[in-house]
A and B are shown apart, each in its own frame.
Chain A
Amino acid sequence: MEVHPLLQVQELTKDFGGLRALDRISFTLNQGESLGIIGPNGSGKTTLVNVITGFLRPTGGRVRFRGRTISGMGPHRIARLGLGRTFQMARPFYHLPAYKNLVIPLFSPRVRRLAGGRYGDRDAVAIDLLEEVGFERDSFVPFKPASVLPHGYLKRLELARALAIRPELLILDELFSGLSMAEVSSTVPIIEHLQAQGITLIMIEHRLRELFRIVDRVIVLNFGRKIAEGTPAEVMESEDVKKAYLGSE
């Protein structure tokens, strides 16, 4: 039996009208790896995530997850296979308490299947999940409505929401954006803990210093093209990358 890499992205292309947002992007990702995707604003990072997770239909190329072609599937079917993602803009269900926010993803058919056909006590699972991402268990915080939580907690709530479906591959779209230094450094161990559990990661990030501590490999996008791939150190040596970040000439 052939062993497939967890995720294969092959020649992925996406056009918006006349604009080519992604231009024949290819990469593979093995089980347990962590990949960073960086690039200047507008280079196509979020589009790439949206295409992989099924929110956008690719113009060309395909995405395979465990050898199975997932491009063209609806986002909910892709999520059920074990692909979780966070959104750049955390938009929680504001009027619900934080833990009730997680009850909705815990309603996912995937959760029931993994638990052997039963849902179990969703409220209890939700509170456990919140503790995992750094909500203080014995405080009122998990029971507060999401509308009063500070931004740092909302980002972590978003992370917990993605974790609720117990993903095999987790895509984090700018999880650190808008967080203070202290919040970032308290979030990094949470992510490292996820890596230790064997969850494969894709991180889109502008905070390169923190990113490079976490990921093994980096892809650099610019104008929809992949301009470099390698370990963090290799990538930062590349002339193309310097040009992309510092401007040409």
Chain B
Amino acid sequence: MFLGTLVYGIVNSVILALVALGFNLTFGISGIANFAYGALYVLTGYGVWILLNEVGLPLFLAAPAMVVLTAMAGALLYRVVLIRLRGMAISEVIATFGVGLAVLEFFRYLGFIGFEYTLPPLLDGSLSIGPVFLDLQRALIVIVGVTLTGVLWLFTHHTRLGLAFRGIAQDEHTAMCLGIHSDRVAMFSLAFGGGLCALAAVVILPIGTISVDAGYDVLLEALAVCIVGGLGSAVGVIVASFILGLAQTYTAMYMGSHWMMIVTLVAILLILTIRPSGLFGKQKELEERI
């Protein structure tokens, strides 16, 4: 019982981390809080569903195709909208929020509600860890989560583009002086964030149904993890998703699933009140509080 909760708590934590990685990457690099993030997530879900059931593509083509398409949607969001609003944080938030709202509610309008909107799991079957049974899809989520974190670390520390990302994140003007194209990097950051978001959607959505409301929840969860961990901090995201993931699972276990989201939201409020820069964010502390 306790062990089972722990295993599912860990899976839940990895899900949170996966969901938050893309949001955090975008914010960490370009300082854009992409409030259309949940919409990108749901967009991927429905996109894959449409490709599978309406177009008839096999899953191994549909999923990568949607990851690429969502990444392009992220880039497009930057090229068309955000590029005109750079530096005005509030306008960025309102604009991305507006885009997200339009996309999500459009799906609701088209009638994408119901239990038939599910994605087939990438892996079938289950394995047992001691007395606990775990389906392979959840195991896959953990594997993808761990691999992705590793790959991201290698990417940001050892490739040109990754280093450019970190350069922009530290000081945009200096990076520009060194010949880094700030607009292009910001666009890449949104595309990457979108791609990661899509990847998360492809592996996570098979364990539930795709719904419009999931879009709002995903945005909130990504925000929660990033705020608790410290916006833009990679270590923070991982630690925070474990704190929140385990806390969520145990509350769901002992108090009912109604309380799961409340725990998350309370965590956001507590952290913002006590330590607005999050557990691991340092640089922003000066700017955000006087």
Interchain Cβ contacts under 8 Å between A and B, 4 examples: A17-B282, A55-B290, A56-B286, A75-B290
Please list the residues of chain A having a beta carbon within 8 angstroms of any beta carbon in chain B.
17, 55-56, 75
Contacts of A17 in B (CB 8 A): 282
Q: Per-position contact with A for B268-290: 1 when CB-CB < 8 Å, else 0?
A: 00000000000000100010001
Residues of B within 8 A of A56 (CB): 286
B interface: dominant SS: loop
Q: How many A-B residue pairs have CB under 8 A?
A: 4
Rounded to whole angstroms, the CA-CA distance of A55 and B289 in the bound complex is 10
CA distance A56 to B289 in the complex (A): 10
Complex contacts, B286 vs chain A, CB 8 Å: 56
Cβ distance B25 to chain A, nearest Cβ, rounded Å: 23
Q: Determine how close the nearest CB of chain A comes to the CB of B202; give it in whole angstroms.
A: 39
Nearest B residue to A56 by beta-carbon distance? B286
Min CB distance A59 to B, Å, is: 14
CB-based closest 4 A-B pairs? A17-B282, A55-B290, A75-B290, A56-B286
CB closest chain-A residue, reference B286: A56
CA distance A17 to B284 in the complex (A): 12
Set of chain A residues within 8 Å of B290, measured between Cβ atoms:
55, 75
Minimum C-beta distance from B171 to chain A (A):
15
A56 to B290, CA, bound (A): 8
Closest A residue, CB atoms, query B282 = A17
Docked CA distance A121–B290 (Å): 31
CB distance from B220 to the nearest CB of A (A): 31
Complex Cα gap A56–B286 (Å):
8
**Inter-chain contacts of B282 with A (CB < 8 A):** 17
In angstroms, Cα B286 to Cα A17, docked, is 12
CB A76 to nearest CB in B, in angstroms, measures 10
A10 CA to B286 CA, complexed, in Å: 24
Which residue of chain B has its CB nearest to the CB of A50? B286
What separation, in Å, do the CA atoms of A75 and B286 have in the docked complex?
14
**Smallest distance from the beta carbon of A73 to chain B beta carbons, Å?**
13
User: Closest residue to A74 on the B side, CB-wise?
Assistant: B290
Instruction: Give min CB distance, B46 to chain A, whole Å.
Output: 45
Q: Mark B27-61, 1 if CB is under 8 A from A, else 0.
A: 00000000000000000000000000000000000
Nearest chain B CB to A227 CB, angstrom units:
26
> Within 8 Å CB of A55, what residues of B?
290
